[in-house]
Structure 1
């Protein structure tokens, strides 16, 4: 086999220094290249896909490296100039475009979206443009509904026409607008469409004119036609069941939620503008960092396509992304003038973990260990903690979570998951990641009380105890039948086989359902809740999963 030409003209793909690095050596206080390369050791070499990252200090790029291959068929390595897709990192660009249009006076962020999308249903309360930005609209995620329908993302060529059609079919929201937070791509696809309807330009034309060209982002565009030839684009890969690499690309034309084509250097140019306001000015910077606020006054931590928080005691503004086999993370530590961008064309990459390991090398003196909930002085008997253990129902979604006693802490299975909830009082528990539960009193006579759960993006979530559910064959037979959802344009069948309730989709594919609590069953991340009419007959099924809550199916046989 001939030696590929690239091996003769480029350094090894295990790591490439590039423009932006200090030609006289690393800047004072910068980590050694060996330490950086060690973080990406799993992606070095020419046998698999990999990553590229770049670092800036006070807006100046000081480092960029690349690892692994951009194209395994043609033996092309990744470089810092390789074009990737950063998935939902793209959302901050869509939010930026929407905010610029508002600053132009052509829209108001508090406008009802039906002013621009009359085909959307009237839900009785206004869904505003600002809610689209902050994921507080209650709109169901169109891609999740498409998956329920039987056509998951990348299984057919979805366009904005499909996304809007699905959104406009939803007769209900996940919740009343502004009451909760739920991440939904629908809101960001609508922003891209809104800009096109208001300006008469394509979303890419508007973005090029107002964002990309002014910031010198010469290799950035929206993937609004996936068949277009893009110079230096990487191919996304994941491991197949055979252990070999297989391509997994976002063959769809929806964008705004994702769909950006860019480089790690261009990402840093954009994130620099979030400090300087070179494009947009101070009000643009303020609105981009304005966190969503629920009706209760709770701050969600989600701003203009940006997550605002802390990492190891340092203020962090960031967003991650994944689309098909691409993975990405863009983060900025404003108090230290540091920003790190990373994109990978390998599905197995932990992009957030990789970026933060890079950041830790640069900010080693500033970062501290993650704070832990201090339960010191809280004298709680583990036997009392155990009285709260058991199954609970999230009253927002109907989904099931289980609390497991572990000494003076509770472990959460299902729900938000995460680290242990340490006892903070006789009836209160909290974790280091901001999840807390306050029960409405101690357990008495074997009866567990309900509780109120607060999370970083939501407060006041009521959880209610549920008992075990062991349905008999006769019980299961009550659920058997066909159920139709016009919102998802699909009919599901439920059948009893070998003493278990099975669900079948339109293609006959399905799986066994696990009993959770009376009339509720689970299948992976989905929860099916059967509902009864006034006679006690099962007449409806409700489906809840991460981004779709209480999607109703009417029994048709």
Structure 2
């Protein structure tokens, strides 16, 4: 923490006077231990963080570190307004659920009932799908990036968002089939609230959420030009070791865009603990975890991740927008909450918040739950390991993964996998199982994630195209969904994607007719012996089709 020698500039650590002793569920905490967690962000030449802790709704700690404005030597303080990124989603979910409790909507309604700009994909996309990230809708910001206008490079608005959504001819997947994080669902909820309530989303939130909870320093960034008292400037680090401004110059909100303080965040999350303001039905809907069509329950509820941390029940969400970072976590059984926000893009508020929580949880993290069974490694011959090497494709989203053998161990990228059977390999709690009974020299595989999600993986052949082979993929390809045309050309013996400004980015082969680079995986398609189109898989956008136009 900053040494306090010039109070006006550097007295950046503020300690709330404890209004009540800690509950028996938590430990006594030294502020010096908290300060040590934030040491890297507590100097006079760095942006920093604010942190607040509450027990049973009572504030027990508040600290501020680093600078809110490096140009004007303004320190962070507890009242500093920052953005917690996607932590905002729980506030949007709250507004949506309040409309449902008012009887004005049903969470099982098709979103097209209120927002007909969303295309008809055959199967209804419900409001609950939007809440749980199971809609299949592509992330509009990812599509905007493919267009050449990534987030914060232009003043994106909800009009832009709806325009992009209306152009999408397909979904990533059938609604309810998978969980896939997408900001689109939460921007659509903001529009939904406006259309149903007849109020702006900002006004509805102010009158129904912020003011009733006493969150007097909280508002939506629906106009990025508006002057906001006590707002910190957001920064990102440079390669030279200094910082540059990185502000969110956009007006989209609901997915993020919440201007708030750590103290106000704790007021909201305490109401999610008690339900004092909106009652048990509100709490139930906020904490109801999504269920996929398969019947599998996911961790994501309504703007909240529900799970465990070191054996302790936890409800949390992280976030980041431009150079802002945030994390809000609550431990229901201990009635403990921690909020951290930072104006440094290289800060990790999730790690900081949980390190602070560790200090308060104390013995609560020693759980009586049985330890995970110890899995002993088995010996697999080198010849058998070689069967599993090479490139594989995840059939769900066309992403590529490559296995190799290094020093007698099967590796995925740089991570060594532990053999737990002749055809099963573990990495932490994830498992890869190869179908050796198929008799194929290179068998298919199933990848099971720690939360039970299952991905089918199919082997693909090595692809080492000649310059003549690469020439088959050259040409111009256009996507009406992204309103952009890209060229592919052979440059210095490699295929390169060329954008509208003439910038060439090499792509490298990853399998037959597939290349990786320039923002994702590009899979070319042929008809009648001629390449006619290419599909892009890029993060939150699966299978965006570009047709060959030249």
Same fold (TM over 0.5): yes
Gaps of at least 5 residues in structure 1 are none
Q: Distance in 2 between matches of 1:387 and 1:21?
A: 64
Q: Deviations over 1:18-75 (max 9, x none)?
A: 3557699xx9832211111011110112111100000111221100100000011121
Contact 1:503 1:511 in 2 (8 A): yes
Matches within 5 A, 1:372-521: 374=373, 376=375, 379-383=378-382, 384-405=384-405, 410-413=410-413, 421-432=417-428, 434-441=429-436, 444=439, 447-456=441-450, 459-521=453-515
C-alpha spacing 1:420/1:357, structure 2 compared with 1 (3 Å) = farther
What displacement does 1:129 show? 0.6
Q: Indicate the residue corresponding to 2:304 in structure 1.
A: 306
Give a deviation string over 1:465-504, Cα, whole Å, max 9, x none.
1121101111100000000000000000000011100001
The Cα shift of 1:389 comes to 2.9
Given that residues 92 and 306 in structure 1 are in contact (C-alpha distance below 8 angstroms), is that contact kept between their aligned partners in structure 2?
yes
Post-superposition shift, 1:352? Answer: 1.0
RMSD between aligned residues: 2.5
Name 2:207's counterpart in structure 1: 209
Following superposition, the deviation at residue 338 of structure 1 comes to 1.3
Say if 1:181 and 1:458, in contact at 8 Å, map to a contact too. no
Native 8 Å contact 1:18 1:80 kept in 2: no
CA distance in 2, matches of 1:221, 1:465: 50
- Tell me the equivalent position of 1:541: 534
Change (3 A) 1:491 1:525: closer
> Deviation string for 1:436-478 (max 9, x for gaps)?
2332235857x12112222256633211011211011111000
* Number of aligned residues: 544
Contact 1:238/1:346 (8 A) holds in 2? yes
1:68 match: 66
Q: Contact 1:375 / 1:424 at 8 angstroms: preserved in 2?
A: no
Q: Aligned-pair distance for 1:546?
A: 1.0
Further displaced range: 237-246 or 115-124: 237-246
Q: Structure 1: how far apart are the matches of 2:406 and 2:212?
A: 55
Query: How far apart in 1 are the matches of 2:526 and 2:108?
Result: 39
> Match of 1:31, SS?
coil
* Cα deviation, residue 11, structure 1: 6.5
Partner Cα separation in structure 2 for residue 207 and residue 6 of structure 1:
41
Stretch moving more, 465-474 or 422-431: 422-431
- Normalising by structure 1, what TM-score? 0.92
Q: CA deviation at 1:364?
A: 2.9
The correspondence of residues 252-263 of structure 1 with structure 2, limited to 5 A, is: 252-263=250-261
Equivalent residue number for residue 548 of structure 2 = 555
The residue that corresponds to 2:187 in the other structure is 189
Measure how far apart 1:7 and its partner are.
3.5
1:272-321: CA deviation from partner (whole Å, max 9, x where unpaired)? 11111123211111111111111111122111111111122222111100
Alpha-carbon distance change, 372 to 251 in structure 1, aligned in 2, over 3 angstroms:
farther
Range 435-444 or range 463-472, more displaced: 435-444
CA distance in 2 between counterparts of 1:385 and 1:367 reads 39
Residue 295 of structure 1 is matched in structure 2 by: 293
Moved over 4 A (4+): 19-24, 368-375, 405-410, 442-445
Give SS of 1:210's match.
Answer: helix
Return the alpha-carbon distance in structure 1 between the equivalents of residues 324 and 33 of structure 2: 24
Report how far residue 366 of structure 1 moved.
Answer: 2.3
Correspondent of 1:35 among 10, 33, 42: 33
For the structure 1 residues 177 and 410, does the alpha-carbon distance in structure 2 shift closer, same or farther, using more than 3 Å as the test? farther
For structure 2, which runs of at least 5 residues remain unmatched after alignment? none
Q: Do the aligned partners of 2:387 and 2:443 also contact (CA within 8 Å) in 1?
A: no
- 2:131 maps to 133
User: 192-201 vs 54-63, which deviates more?
Assistant: 54-63
Q: TM-score, normalised by structure 2?
A: 0.94
Rounded to whole Å, the distance in 2 between the matches of 1:382 and 1:361 is 46
SS at structure 2 position matched to 1:287: helix
Question: 2:517 — aligned with what?
Answer: 523
Q: Contact (CA 8 Å) 1:381, 1:408: kept in 2 or not?
A: no
Shift of 1:376: 3.5
Show CA shifts across 1:227-269 (max 9, x none).
1111100000112244332111001000000000000011111
Contact 1:301/1:456 (CA < 8 Å) preserved in 2?
A: no
> How far apart are residue 385 of structure 1 and its match?
4.2
